[in-house]
Amino acid sequence: MKVRVARISGAALSLTMAICTVTTVVGISWPTPASATSQPVEMAAPYEYLGWGDPQQPTQVMASTGVQDVTLAFILSKGKCHPAWDGQRPLLGGSDAAAINSIRSAGGDVDVSFGGWSGKKLGTSCKTPAALAATYQTVINDYSLHAIDIDIEHKEVSSAATRERVIAALAIVQRENPGLEISITFGTNESGPNGQDLSLIADAAAIGFQPTAWTIMPFDFDAPVSDMASVSIQAAEGLDKDLASTNHESDAVAYGQIGISSMNGETDESDETVSVANFQTMLSFAQSNHLARFTFWSVNRDRPCGGSDTTSDSCGGISQQPYAFTDVVAQYHG
């Protein structure tokens, strides 16, 4: 993603979904959704960036679309190995913690995303796997998280040492948190992962670490693309082959370990547009192959632009109904 316009740093919910239990962490009570109504948190949790543009209230998104879970972005380094929202806002006591509380009170849950394209990354700021794992654990503990997403891009993914550190840290976190969902999200070529991304998969295989999902972002290909659905599926098929080969497993098993994170409307590239019809085609592919994750960047942009406004942090640059892409995500159940 080069320009990074979008990467700077349904139905009403049923009464049953609103039934909650309470978990207490560091003196704070966090409502958690009743297990009888839940699916894996990361399976269909669109990204929303509360520190960017004109973000919608997450509970309003949930009530309008029927989507149950939300991926909130991004946790960055506040300095050295200290986590903060967007590298600035505190973990506790602020608007982000309040948003998480409101999502859970409405019967949903959150997947917290670390990284992204811009800003200072914890993967580079924390100098050892143990230190990085401890930082991830701080965020997990503060919010009683059931899911985390590591969006590894830019300088994080370009450094072999950082890639190895991130994988080693996540292996520690997985051992300490059985059942925690972990997604590793990265860019892709049209045919599948590039060499840097393949090294992440190889590093994980070497230490016996398997995340819940290896999630590709099939956009920003640096070349004109006329059919973003076909290319996205082609990239996912390439990832499937790579995982099957590396892990010595069948294509069907590998599909259950991958995810697609698209971008709605006009992407960061002027010659790429992901339409609602494209997204529906990707949904059908995800359903047919039972992918681990189907999501997109971002809810902030999932609405038409107004007046002279074109693609921005608050709209997707195409003619669409509000929440058209989030409505599609809400249809995904594995």
Neighbouring CB atoms inside 10 A of 27's CB total 6
pLDDT greater than 60 at residue 278 = yes
Q: Where are the domains of the chain?
A: 38-329
Phi, psi angle pair for 75, to nearest 5°: -90, 125
pLDDT score, position 156? 85
Of 28 and 211, the structure prediction assigns the larger pLDDT to 211
With pLDDT > 70 as the criterion, what percentage of the chain qualifies?
88
pLDDT score, position 323? 98
Buried b / exposed e over 45-82, threshold 16 CB at 10 Å, is: bbbbbbbbbebbebbebbebbbbbbbbbbbbbbbeebe
Phi, psi angle pair for 69, to nearest 5°: -125, 155
DSSP string, 232-243: HHHHHHHHHHHH
Positions marked catalytic: 153
Least confident range from 46-50, 143-147, 222-226, 320-324: namely: 222-226
Residue whose token pair is 């839940």: 38
Class of domain 38-329: alpha beta
Please write the tens of the pLDDT for every residue from 166-191: 999 999 999 999 999 999 999 999 99
SS3 at position 280: helix
Please write the tens of the pLDDT for every residue from 57-115: 999 999 999 999 999 999 999 999 999 999 999 999 999 999 999 999 999 999 999 99
Nearest to residue 96, comparing CAs of 134, 162, 145, 163? 145
pLDDT score, position 312? 80
pLDDT greater than 50 at residue 150 = yes
Compute the mean pLDDT over every residue in the chain, rounded to the nearest whole number.
90
Can you point out the beta strands (E) in the chain?
20-25, 28-33, 47-49, 69-79, 82-85, 109-116, 147-152, 181-187, 213-217, 258-263, 265-266, 273-274, 293-297
pLDDT score, position 28? 57
pLDDT score, position 22? 40
pLDDT score, position 53? 78
154 pLDDT band (50/70/90 cuts)? confident
Quote helix, strand, coil % in the chain, to nearest 5: 40, 25, 40
pLDDT score, position 29? 59
pLDDT score, position 239? 98
pLDDT greater than 90 at residue 5 = no
pLDDT greater than 70 at residue 15 = no
Tokens linked to 106: 């409405």
pLDDT score, position 311? 67
Tokens linked to 246: 């590396």
